[in-house]
Amino acid sequence: MMEKNIKIAIDGHSSCGKSTLAKQLAAHYGFLFIDTGAMYRAVALYAIENGIINDDDVIDEKKLKNEMDKINISFKNSNGKNRTLLNSEDVEDKIRQIRVSSKVSKIAAMPFVREKMVSLQRKISENSSVVMDGRDIGTVVFPNAEVKFFVTASQEIRAQRRYKELLEKGEIVDLEQIKQSISQRDFLDSTREISPLKKADDAIELDNSFMTREEQFDFAVKIIDKVLQK
């Protein structure tokens, strides 16, 4: 049996199915699944609900910094589904809304926000094997992760997938708005000063534009199995 705690890092662009893959892999290997995007989304939601970021995306940095200690993020499992809690409130649905998606990149670019989230991510994974998805997992959070994937897909395909997903949840959405939001997030995530989204040198690139979920999963499992057998 495995003795070591294994870290599997899944980084990549917004809405390219990282979480789906991470969840599948975590279930397959019996590892903990950690959605780090959800953590940044929860901070963004807090900022929106407490008037810390306004409609023009201006952030009251001082207030946010002062209130970081009041922001407690945790996860729970409910009927086999991962739910994000913000100060004990289940905010899993709220953090997926477009009002949060459109502001989260700005919040995630704040150094003091990243510092707190990265330290929480390492703490949660201290004694477990984990599959963690995000933007900086292979580069910053776990630079020594046993396996690293960098997942991507074309912007058009990502927007279509996200559109379908939100429609199925009953949200009224506009495809053009989603396209814009994805393109803006790609830009902000990869050009920010601290921990920008970039492929780690030793990450395996996975472009799933023309792959099914099953094909993507099989591809990843083959690679992970090889590493685990070493």
Q: Site residues (CB under 6 A) for ligand DC? A: 14, 36-37, 40-41, 104-105, 108, 134-136, 185, 189
Distance CA 201, CA 158 (A): 24
What's the closest the beta carbon of residue 34 comes to ligand DC, in angstroms?
Answer: 10
Integer CA distances (angstroms), 117 to 11, 114, 150, in order: 16, 5, 20
Buried-exposed string 135-162: b where 16+ CB fall within 10 A, e elsewhere: bbbbbbbbeebbbbbbbbbebebbbbbb
Query: Which residue, among 103, 115, 105, has the nearest Cα to 53 in the 3D structure?
Result: 103
| Both tokens assigned to 134 | 């995000």
What's the closest the beta carbon of residue 37 comes to ligand DC, in angstroms?
Answer: 2
Distance CA 7, CA 147 (A): 7
Tell me whether residue 108 or residue 224 sits nearer to ligand DC (CB atom).
108
What's the closest the beta carbon of residue 2 comes to ligand DC, in angstroms?
Answer: 25
Tell me whether residue 5 or residue 184 sits nearer to ligand DC (CB atom).
184
Tell me whether residue 3 or residue 126 sits nearer to ligand DC (CB atom).
126
What's the closest the beta carbon of residue 63 comes to ligand DC, in angstroms?
Answer: 20
Tell me whether residue 92 or residue 189 sits nearer to ligand DC (CB atom).
189
